[in-house]
Amino acid sequence: MSTIARPHNPESDPRVKAVFDDIRATRKSDSINNLWYYLAFDPPLLEDIWRGVKQVMAEPSALDPLTKELIYIAVSITNSCSYCVHSHTAAARAKGMTDAMHADLLRVVSTAARTNQLLNGLQVPVDEAFDREA
Amino acid sequence: MSTIARPHNPESDPRVKAVFDDIRATRKSDSINNLWYYLAFDPPLLEDIWRGVKQVMAEPSALDPLTKELIYIAVSITNSCSYCVHSHTAAARAKGMTDAMHADLLRVVSTAARTNQLLNGLQVPVDEAFDREA
Amino acid sequence: MSTIARPHNPESDPRVKAVFDDIRATRKSDSINNLWYYLAFDPPLLEDIWRGVKQVMAEPSALDPLTKELIYIAVSITNSCSYCVHSHTAAARAKGMTDAMHADLLRVVSTAARTNQLLNGLQVPVDEAFDREA
Amino acid sequence: MSTIARPHNPESDPRVKAVFDDIRATRKSDSINNLWYYLAFDPPLLEDIWRGVKQVMAEPSALDPLTKELIYIAVSITNSCSYCVHSHTAAARAKGMTDAMHADLLRVVSTAARTNQLLNGLQVPVDEAFDREA
Amino acid sequence: MSTIARPHNPESDPRVKAVFDDIRATRKSDSINNLWYYLAFDPPLLEDIWRGVKQVMAEPSALDPLTKELIYIAVSITNSCSYCVHSHTAAARAKGMTDAMHADLLRVVSTAARTNQLLNGLQVPVDEAFDREA
Amino acid sequence: MSTIARPHNPESDPRVKAVFDDIRATRKSDSINNLWYYLAFDPPLLEDIWRGVKQVMAEPSALDPLTKELIYIAVSITNSCSYCVHSHTAAARAKGMTDAMHADLLRVVSTAARTNQLLNGLQVPVDEAFDREA
């Protein structure tokens, strides 16, 4: 159950069709996953989100594609976004994440959450040594 | 201002001294940052947290050390732990993170947060295609 | 599956019946949604929560009713409360939220989350110009 | 720096004075901490928040006062509310929390955060055995 | 203390200057607040973030500018982004938010957070009545 | 649907069997809940997580076992971890949590969340009086 009605035949709108075609070409796959399908209820929002995700995740940049997917999963776990955890775990596997890497990712994410809450409880002052301008 | 009193001369406790010595040896540095210094108020907790962080972050594993730091920063940002963001950004730089990689990390983290909240608002059903057992 | 057992015939308790009657009168609807039905397991908690929500959301105040629903949805999305997102999206529609307004809400919420995490990563000092007493 | 201007002489408003007097009587202390002082910018909000906190934290209930403070700190840590962590840690100490109890609280909070994120990453189905109605 | 070094004379880079000029023109103000100043460390990221914020917050859309600021503040509070809370509270005031509206915003945000956590604790099933396709 | 495949016959691995046997002995129950079953996909991670949870939750410490479960639930609610809320609510009941205590827990958690967001919105300075070293 979504908060919006599932669009019927969204590709009859040429703006939606253009985005879906670009998703298919970028991912070399015919399937359009539910995020994009439902987002078609508002074509400008669909265009913006797709452009943003494509630019950050599909274009070459300082970090390699798999590292970016691991970071994406880490954020999605911490924000408790079930859909995002599922979709980006699948994406990471498609880009080469093994079970051992998945376990290591979960190890780092859960350890970070542990010390994050420890520090939020201790309220320790930040060391001067961490100051880049010092 | 911390929620606990800053310990005075914590290394007079041999359990604390053993942890501090291991921190110095592991990091090849004489300085002990505030997290560990304050945590010395409870030696068993200090031992547990250090053992956990060392095992996950300092021992060889499926992911390389810099990738693990980037994931750690991503989680710390999302949990809004100021101390952790500062300390692990410094750690990532020490392991080779450039300004361009830092910018790319922030780009991925903020893009993930954006789509996380979009999905939490849409409540779209998870695609069957993401099911590993399908 | 809830963490509490679904109450059987909760309106046999007069405190519960009084709250349910007020919910029906306030909302001009016969149905009692699951939040209130399950909360009937503890009548004082039911009374407190209903009184608080009614006072803030159903009584005239500085912000209009639809704006308050949009803010409520924004918080619920960010806290990843699926039930709350569903119930308050339905409430916002009943108060006039169109698809275009819904899309705009999602646009603002996701943009805010993006810059929130960017800032939590940058740890930029707050400008003096934002100080109301300056 | 607060987002609202610090009120000048707030007790000149009798509604504020009544709340401040009740805070002093309830806490057996002359000092009014900043939360209440700043909240005086809107007397109805001050009244509501104080009434809610007093009812939940200062009146006898199923859980004892110290346990309630520990739970309050746990939530405040997880929501990254620095002010709340400081004020409720002080309150818990005033009610008998020792350093050993504080360390144990931090141990439980950080362990829970660790497994929370692990589970959010695994997306494991909830066991039927946890169903209260099963 | 930021995680990046404060850029020196960032407008010597024409891409940065173009963004800063657009910020000044859009806001009809000479000052550049710290977010944009520090973001200049990576001109493409600066361009992306400014374009996204400007498009969502400064261009006419289904929701009015002040409502969008209130939603932005609500999300920033919930994500515990201190900088964002300060900057968008200032922006909302500039667009007409009174003290009474500010108090009402805080009332709705805190009430929503209260019921969000109540529901996350109860894990109540979502009512069929909330299904838009039912 | 989980992000990892449900392991088949995990106890054929002696490291997994040793952990499962210890879970059964510690809990005096034959059943292994899904968290541990799925975690068996990576035996070292299973060992670490079980050791950490057992040490904190099952061994005598400054706080009693039921109080620790209540704190665990509070954190799990705030992190929006549905599985954790279910499993630890069941654990708390097994250790003596009554409906009245459960209602009180929810009352404290939701009140804390309310004031947390109020304070994150007000950005009130921390009182000097809360400083342990003052």
Question: Does pLDDT of A1 surpass 90?
Answer: no
**Neighbors of chain A with 3 or more C-beta pairs under 8 Å:** B, C, D, E, F
Read out DSSP for D43-94?
HHHHHHHHHHHIIIIIS--SS-HHHHHHHHHHHHHHTT-HHHHHHHHHHHHH
Average pLDDT over residues F53-81: 98
Q: Which residue of F has its CA nearest to E117?
A: F110
Tokens of A107: 């190890």
Q: Is A14 helix (H, G, I), strand (E, B) or coil?
A: helix
d(CA D108, CA F84): 13
Q: Do B89 and E41 touch (CB under 8 A)?
A: no
Number of residue pairs across A and F with CB atoms under 8 Å? Answer: 23
Q: Do B105 and A34 touch (CB under 8 A)?
A: no
List pLDDT tens digits, range F42-64: 999 999 999 999 999 999 999 99
Instruction: Give the model's pLDDT for residue C134.
Output: 66
Question: Does pLDDT of A131 surpass 90?
Answer: no
Interface test with B, best of F45, F57, F133 (most B CBs within 10 A): F133
**Neighbors of chain D with 3 or more C-beta pairs under 8 Å:** A, B, C, E, F
Interface test with F, best of E86, E99, E111, E118 (most F CBs within 10 A): E118
Between E132 and A103, whose confidence is greater?
Answer: A103
For B134, counting Cβ atoms within 10 Å of its Cβ (0-12 exposed, 13-18 middle, 19+ buried), the class is exposed
Average pLDDT, chain B: 96
Instruction: Give the model's pLDDT for residue C64.
Output: 98
Provide the residue type at A102 as one letter.
H
Q: Is C127 helix (H, G, I), strand (E, B) or coil?
A: coil
Q: Shortest CB distance from C132 goes to which of D5, D48, D126? A: D5
For residue B23, give the H/E element and its range: helix B14-27
Instruction: Give the model's pLDDT for residue F134.
Output: 66
- Using a CB–CB cut-off of 8 Å, the residues of B that contact E are 80, 85-86, 89, 99-100, 102-103, 106-107, 110, 117
CB E75 within 8 A of CB C116: yes
Instruction: Give the model's pLDDT for residue D131.
Output: 86
**What percent of chain E stands above pLDDT 90?**
96
Q: Which residues of C touch B73 (CB under 8 A)?
A: 121
List pLDDT tens digits, range A41-85: 999 999 999 999 999 999 999 999 999 999 999 999 999 999 999
Cβ neighbours for E49, distance < 8 A, ≥ 6 positions apart: B110, C114, C115, C118, E39
Read out DSSP for A33-91?
-HHHHHHTTSHHHHHHHHHHHIIIIIS--SS-HHHHHHHHHHHHHHTT-HHHHHHHHHH
Tokens of F37: 């079953």
CB C69 within 8 A of CB C47: no
Instruction: Give the model's pLDDT for residue B38.
Output: 97
Q: Shortest CB distance from F56 goes to which of D39, D63, D107? A: D107
Q: Do C44 and F103 touch (CB under 8 A)?
A: yes
Number of residue pairs across C and F with CB atoms under 8 Å? Answer: 23
Q: How far is A69 from chain C (nearest CA, A)?
A: 17
d(CA E51, CA E122): 41
Q: Do F44 and A89 touch (CB under 8 A)?
A: no
d(CA C129, CA E90): 9
Q: Do B114 and C114 touch (CB under 8 A)?
A: yes
List pLDDT tens digits, range E12-59: 999 999 999 999 999 999 999 999 999 999 999 999 999 999 999 999
Q: Which residues of B touch F133 (CB under 8 A)?
A: 1, 5-6
Q: What is the dihedral of CA A2, A4, A7, A13, to 10 degrees?
A: -140
Q: Do E80 and D81 touch (CB under 8 A)?
A: yes
Question: Does pLDDT of E133 surpass 90?
Answer: no
How many CA atoms lie within 13 Å of E111's alpha carbon, on the beta-carbon side?
Answer: 25
Q: How far is E64 from chain F (nearest CA, A)?
A: 22
d(CA F122, CA D83): 10
Question: Does pLDDT of E71 surpass 90?
Answer: yes
Instruction: Give the model's pLDDT for residue E37.
Output: 97
Q: Do C45 and F99 touch (CB under 8 A)?
A: no
Q: Do D114 and A116 touch (CB under 8 A)?
A: no
Read out DSSP for E4-56?
SPPPSSGGGSHHHHHHHHHHHHHHT-S---HHHHHHTTSHHHHHHHHHHHIII
Q: Do F80 and E113 touch (CB under 8 A)?
A: no
Q: How far is E117 from chain F (nearest CA, A)?
A: 5
Q: Do C52 and D55 touch (CB under 8 A)?
A: no
CB atoms under 10 Å from CB of F25, counted, come to 9
Q: How many helices (H) and strands (E) does chain F have?
A: 6, 0
Q: Do D110 and A114 touch (CB under 8 A)?
A: yes
List pLDDT tens digits, range A19-41: 999 999 999 999 999 999 999 99
Q: Do B42 and D103 touch (CB under 8 A)?
A: yes
Q: How far is B1 from chain A (nearest CA, A)?
A: 7
Instruction: Give the model's pLDDT for residue E131.
Output: 86
Q: Shortest CB distance from C80 goes to which of A48, A49, A81? A: A81
Q: Which residues of A touch F74 (CB under 8 A)?
A: none
Q: Shortest CB distance from D126 goes to which of C1, C130, C132? A: C1
d(CA A60, CA F129): 52
What are the C-alpha distances in Å from E26 to residues A40, B134, C114? 30, 51, 21
List pLDDT tens digits, range D75-97: 999 999 999 999 999 999 999 99
CB D71 within 8 A of CB F74: yes
pLDDT in tens, chain C (134 residues): 899 999 999 999 999 999 999 999 999 999 999 999 999 999 999 999 999 999 999 999 999 999 999 999 999 999 999 999 999 999 999 999 999 999 999 999 999 999 999 999 999 999 999 988 76
**What percent of chain A stands above pLDDT 90?**
96
Average pLDDT over residues F86-99: 98
CB D108 within 8 A of CB F64: no
Instruction: Give the model's pLDDT for residue D132.
Output: 80
ipTM, two decimals: 0.96
Average pLDDT over residues E107-127: 97
Q: Which residue of E has its CA nearest to C113?
A: E75
Q: Do F3 and A107 touch (CB under 8 A)?
A: no
CB B77 within 8 A of CB A117: no
What are the C-alpha distances in Å from C133 to residues A81, D4, E77, E90, F7? 39, 8, 21, 12, 61
Q: Which residues of E touch D2 (CB under 8 A)?
A: none
d(CA B56, CA D115): 15
Q: How far is E128 from chain C (nearest CA, A)?
A: 9
Q: Do C100 and A41 touch (CB under 8 A)?
A: no
pLDDT along chain B (134 residues), means of 10: 94 98 96 96 98 97 98 98 98 97 98 98 95 76
What are the C-alpha distances in Å from C105 to residues A1, B36, C102, E56, E68? 19, 43, 5, 10, 8
Q: Among E80, C9, E41, A104, which residue's Cα sits nearest to residue B71?
A: A104
Q: Do C3 and F117 touch (CB under 8 A)?
A: no
Between D16 and E131, whose confidence is greater?
Answer: D16
CB C10 within 8 A of CB C39: no
Which ranges of chain C does DSSP label H, i.e. alpha helix? Answer: 14-27, 34-39, 43-53, 65-78, 82-94, 99-122
Cβ neighbours for A56, distance < 8 A, ≥ 6 positions apart: A68, B107, B108, B111
Q: Do C2 and E123 touch (CB under 8 A)?
A: yes
d(CA E30, CA E46): 18
Q: Which residues of A touch F79 (CB under 8 A)?
A: 80
Q: Do D41 and E110 touch (CB under 8 A)?
A: no
Q: Which residue of F has its CA nearest to B7?
A: F133
Q: Which residues of B touch C87 (CB under 8 A)?
A: none
